[in-house]
Structure 1
Amino acid sequence: MGSRDSGYEEWKAKYYGSEDIKSIEVVGQGDLTRSLQFIAPDDNNKDDKTVVDLLLAKPVPAGAFVQFKIAFQTKFPETQARSGWKRDFVLGGQWFPKVGVWWHGAWNAHQYHNTTEFFADFGVYDVKLTVPQDEVIGASGIEVSNVANTDKTKTVTYHGDDIHDFAWTASPRFKVKESTYQAQMGPIQLRFLMQPAHWGQIERHERITRETLDHFEKWYGPYPYKTLTVVDPEPDSAAGGMEYPTFITAGTTWWMPEGLHEVEGVVEHEFGHQYWYGMVATNEFEDAWLDEGINSYTEVKVLDSILGKDTSVLNLAGATYGEPEQQRDFYISAPDRDAMAQNAFAYVNSSSYGGVTYGKTASVLLTLEGIIGEDTMNKAMHTYFMKYRFTHPTKEDFLKTIEEVSGKDLRWYFNQAVYGTQVLDYEVLSANSYPTDWFEEKKKDKKEGKDAKDSDTVYQSYVTVHRKGDFVMPVAVEVKFDNNEKVREHWDGQSRWTRFSYQKKTKVVSVEIDPDHTIHLDRDNFDNSLLVEPNPKPTHKLSTYWLFLTQWTSQAMAWWAV
């Protein structure tokens, strides 16, 4: 059992966290605490105590406002789900009662679920944190005052405009680095709170933060806030890799080598949420892919640009791994259980939620580039962000923006990729070449007694391509002949299979589906190409590696046994 970040062999009291509303007053209507009642709009679970409903004593007139005064008490658990305490470290996330969102003519408030993120409306936050004086603090928004109290505490005040959540952290051991980034809308104060054991990685954290800011401002739009705090959380705290407005947590270890790009991946991903979660602010309970998935797609684009397409995840000791492959691998682990367009809490399990919300969405949008063009896709992403920032758009707002910018009707694609669970899987079924004169007696070379090579021999060649999955997608097929001639075919994929026929004075040597590698949704890439005559070189290479490994292991064991 456990949360999305932590597992427990047994439940202990320290894992329990809560927010208790002690009283709620409506100015002009009095104390309405007794009118609070728990509801479970998602699953009717009577034991769920995460959503409360309040009916006011009298309606709020049109154009007027109402003021609430809420007294509450929060108990933090030992860190789980990116909130709580670990040793002398505290991360304050989801720590206060949040008002539902008035959205499309109704109040939108969902229960606290294991796999979902959150949804809240924009506002102005003024927060005072009182902590021991030796604590180093970081938080959303701008620090406006820091006052030492007579009881050896201090009160730090923060102000945040146009944000929809507020998070904070405190630890007496943080090491701090501050610098300034000159953004399109003015300077941004960058603040890095690092664990002492990770201080040697501060330059990596700052470099990827600046490079990510560069790309997002250039490609998608301006970052309008005046601060950004990057927190290196306590080791083993389940607090890494989380996003809040102007505040993110990173993730690393003491041994992180330069070629393992985990630092860069986590910082870039969590900063990307400042755009899709922070400013566009979609409903993550109902369409998690609009944040996590779009953010995974822009993660691919940004990190490929910074670190290299094939090395954006790993470039170490000759081993390489890229972001597009990582996202696709994530998707194909659970490709057909759930659609992207469904409530985040309705996925069959957390593996399906992660594989579809993150990996599939990224792969769907990368594949979409091949359909409408990369430049058009870039323009659509920029248009979507600029048009819908601070508005809580829906999935149809996003999909229609792509159609409007591209000028294409893409419902055939969206109905399968976004709203459906169809799996894309194509294969080269066969490729053969036969002499058209196979039945005639061959001329013999008088001296050698062998068949004379006849350059005029015509071959009948057949190439058969099969659609194994139920996702219908037009594909390109490249056929290569032994005279180096290449022929590009295009198949609409409507039938289960198709066959291409050729009569040439040359034989087919290889066939490849999607030769430009623009389709990232195919479940099995190994059967997308076929060599008529197998190439022994890869086998020989792997055999050599295996021989080296076994000999090295044997020698090491012999040395150890001495």
Structure 2
Amino acid sequence: MLSKAAGIIPAILLLIAGNAFAFDTLRVDASLDTLRKDISGSVTFVLPMSPDLSSFELQLFPNVYASEDSPYLLEKKILREQLKSSGKWGEMVLDSILLDGNNITNGVTVEYTRAVYRSKTGKNINGGQVDVYFRTRLPERGDRLSTFGGNYFLDGWFPYPAIVQEDGSWYNPDYNSFAELVGNFYQYEINLRLPGNLKIASAVPPEIIAADDSLVTNHFSFGPAHDFGLVLAPDFEVDSTSIDGINVVIYYRPGDLPVIERIRTAAGYVIEFMQENVGPYPYDRLTLAVFDLVTAGGVEMPGLIALNTSHGVMAKMRIFEVLVVHETLHQWFYGAIYSDQAAAPWMDEAISDVFTLKIMEKVWGIDANVLDFAGFRISERDQVRLVSQMSADNGPLNRPTSEFIDDVDYVGTVYMRGALLIETFDNLLGDSLSMLFWHSYYDRYKFGCPTPDDFVELAGEIGGDGIKSAVDYLVNHAGQIDYAVKGLANKQIDSVTYESEFVLKKKGELNLSIDYRMILYNGDTLDQAWEPQRKTEKMIFRLPAPVMEVIVDPDNIITVDDNLANNSITDRTDSRAALRLSSGVMFLIESIFSFLGGL
């Protein structure tokens, strides 16, 4: 889940892919009042010169915390009840809005998180300067915007311009329970006045430009980025190191010291892997803050990651490393390569989970890379497959957050099954084309916002029409996908010939050849490719020895295959079935630990 602007600097032109246009600079001048638990100030930006505009819209994210009727809180039951119990809701109020110095406040309508101004005369307002004066009341223990015990988590804390489209309309998402902040790329220039006792975790270190007995004015200059967040606490300690040319800074409280080395190590593995296999980290500094106001496992913002404090079972397993790896990966998939998380959440979550699998297996091995203790062996892949099979709905991956019924459906489909769907595409490319694809994806869309169609088109450019058709099916259409083999039988024809037959089956419309392997009793191995003409096909071979075992997809290319237990069949009893049963038991144990760990 995710991260500036007062002062005058040269305009920076940002090139945004897709159909959105960029503003140059977003300037914020604000103060935190620790007694009233609110932030007040102003936001200034200039409307773009094209397309023709007679309106503008603002996003008022803090209003997701305004009442128990908020659509955002509908499926966040614990958070909703917590806010209801304390009565300390959040809210953003627009005190006044100026357009080129003229007060237009009375012409602005506000509904939920959307503020809209339309020129009554239809007059073109391109190039106009907008000044928004706001007050944000901070909720107690929100998930992205929060205060408690003198600590603060600030994300979405000031009004953002919505996203202008090619036709002059505005895209302003409805924030439901699964939607994260949606914005455009800006150069942020922020002046923020804070009490001097608060230590600041942010994507860039602040420059102190003024100070008195009680307040320090901090200036932040950061970008291009689509978000800017901060974590504030009086008792932060700091760990800083350089990893592959990136300054990695970790803010933590003394009780979290035991996990700092683990955070540094996991984040370092991600930086090194991604800079080699995808593209350079987009900023000079990566900041991580370990903090107990984060209600999720972690929240990603450009240049800044907020991690939940590391107590309990999760800290004793590598599930904590999984968390750090996943959130750090979002610096590439969500931070540098932005995607509309409300409309296509898979483009950051599923892709980040694919690379989580890659890194966990490269660094800690394929098996038991989450837990290997007293006979209990659990891997991240076990977790992904289990949650996918238990909770994903087999509907299309590419759909907006509003179409998911609950968090179980959302996590199972977008994160877990989504990872297996995108990994299947990645496997079909093969190692060399995979690296070419991800480098090309990064180079083309860094500081841009690709659409699902852009992803599919690039897959076709790199892999050809067959790959394009496959990824289009995997992303936009895939229901249940299952390859199976059954009915293995052998009979002797003569002293040197045996006839072996078996049936290959498929579910789903992934129209690709699938490899299968026959292992003979004499030790020979025969690899063949099945070009499915029908969903079920009997295969008959005459061979010098009977077939002992048949394995469909022996290299596990189609990792989204719903049932791996039917991918092989043996002509005799061996230990493989028992191993599969053991694996299933491990899945169950893993799910219990994941639940206890709060992941």
TM range (shorter): 0.7 to 0.9
1:358/1:91 Cα in 2 relative to 1: closer, same or farther (>3 Å)?
A: same
Answering whether residue 96 of structure 2 is matched by residue 23 of structure 1, we say: yes
Deviation (angstroms), 1:515: 0.9
More displaced 10-residue stretch of structure 1: 513-522 or 363-372: 363-372
- SS at 2:457 equivalent: helix
1:316/1:408 Cα in 2 relative to 1: closer, same or farther (>3 Å)?
A: farther
Deviation (angstroms), 1:521: 0.8
Aligned to 1:56: 119
1:5/1:204 Cα in 2 relative to 1: closer, same or farther (>3 Å)?
A: farther
Output aligned runs, 1:255-274, within 5 Å: 260-274=317-331
Q: Deviations over 1:297-346 (max 9, x none)?
A: 22222332222233443344443333344333333334444312222222
1:391/1:143 Cα in 2 relative to 1: closer, same or farther (>3 Å)?
A: same
Q: Identify which of 9, 12, 32 aligns with 2:104.
A: 32
Aligned to 1:489: 528
- 1:138–1:169 CA contact under 8 A, matched in 2: yes
- 1:23–1:33 CA contact under 8 A, matched in 2: yes
Identical positions, percent? 22
Answering whether residue 128 of structure 2 is matched by residue 66 of structure 1, we say: yes
Answering whether residue 135 of structure 2 is matched by residue 96 of structure 1, we say: no
Deviation (angstroms), 1:511: 1.4
Deviation (angstroms), 1:386: 0.7
Aligned to 1:154: 216
- 2:394–2:479 CA contact under 8 A, matched in 1: no
Aligned to 1:130: 193
C-alpha separation in 2, matches of 1:158 and 1:319: 48
Return the TM-score normalized by structure 1: 0.83
- 2:392–2:413 CA contact under 8 A, matched in 1: yes
More displaced 10-residue stretch of structure 1: 515-524 or 81-90: 81-90
Output aligned runs, 1:520-559, within 5 Å: 520-535=559-574, 539=578
Output the amino acid matched with 1:174: F
Q: Identify which of 458, 475, 483 aligns with 1:418.
A: 475
Aligned to 2:306: 249
Question: RMSD of the TM alignment (CA)?
Answer: 2.8
Deviation (angstroms), 1:536: 5.4
C-alpha separation in 1, matches of 2:400 and 2:488: 44
C-alpha separation in 2, matches of 1:26 and 1:52: 14
Answering whether residue 363 of structure 2 is matched by residue 291 of structure 1, we say: no
1:147/1:494 Cα in 2 relative to 1: closer, same or farther (>3 Å)?
A: farther
C-alpha separation in 2, matches of 1:361 and 1:498: 29
Q: Identify which of 439, 456, 459 aligns with 1:382.
A: 439
Q: Deviations over 1:430-472 (max 9, x none)?
A: 10112347xxxxxxxxxxxxxxxxxx26433211122245554
- 2:241–2:247 CA contact under 8 A, matched in 1: yes
Output the amino acid matched with 2:199: V
Aligned to 1:443: none
Return the TM-score normalized by structure 2: 0.78
Aligned to 2:179: 116
Deviation (angstroms), 1:537: 8.1
- 1:101–1:108 CA contact under 8 A, matched in 2: yes
Aligned to 1:216: 274
- SS at 1:499 equivalent: strand
Aligned to 1:451: none
How many residue pairs get aligned? The number is 509
1:541/1:211 Cα in 2 relative to 1: closer, same or farther (>3 Å)?
A: closer
1:508/1:197 Cα in 2 relative to 1: closer, same or farther (>3 Å)?
A: same
- SS at 1:461 equivalent: strand
Aligned to 1:405: 462
1:423/1:512 Cα in 2 relative to 1: closer, same or farther (>3 Å)?
A: same
Structure 1 or 2, whichever has the larger Rg, is: 1
- 1:129–1:155 CA contact under 8 A, matched in 2: yes
- SS at 2:272 equivalent: helix
More displaced 10-residue stretch of structure 1: 425-434 or 75-84: 75-84
Answering whether residue 292 of structure 2 is matched by residue 234 of structure 1, we say: yes
C-alpha separation in 1, matches of 2:575 and 2:189: 68
C-alpha separation in 1, matches of 2:134 and 2:315: 45
Deviation (angstroms), 1:182: 5.0
Answering whether residue 142 of structure 2 is matched by residue 80 of structure 1, we say: yes
C-alpha separation in 1, matches of 2:76 and 2:350: 17
Output the amino acid matched with 2:235: R
Output the amino acid matched with 1:69: D
Higher relative contact order (Cα pairs below 8 Å, separated by 6+ residues)? 2
Q: Identify which of 510, 529, 538 aligns with 2:549.
A: 510
- SS at 2:443 equivalent: helix
Unaligned runs of 5+ in 2: 1-72, 586-599
- 1:460–1:504 CA contact under 8 A, matched in 2: yes
1:58/1:206 Cα in 2 relative to 1: closer, same or farther (>3 Å)?
A: farther
C-alpha separation in 2, matches of 1:468 and 1:74: 52
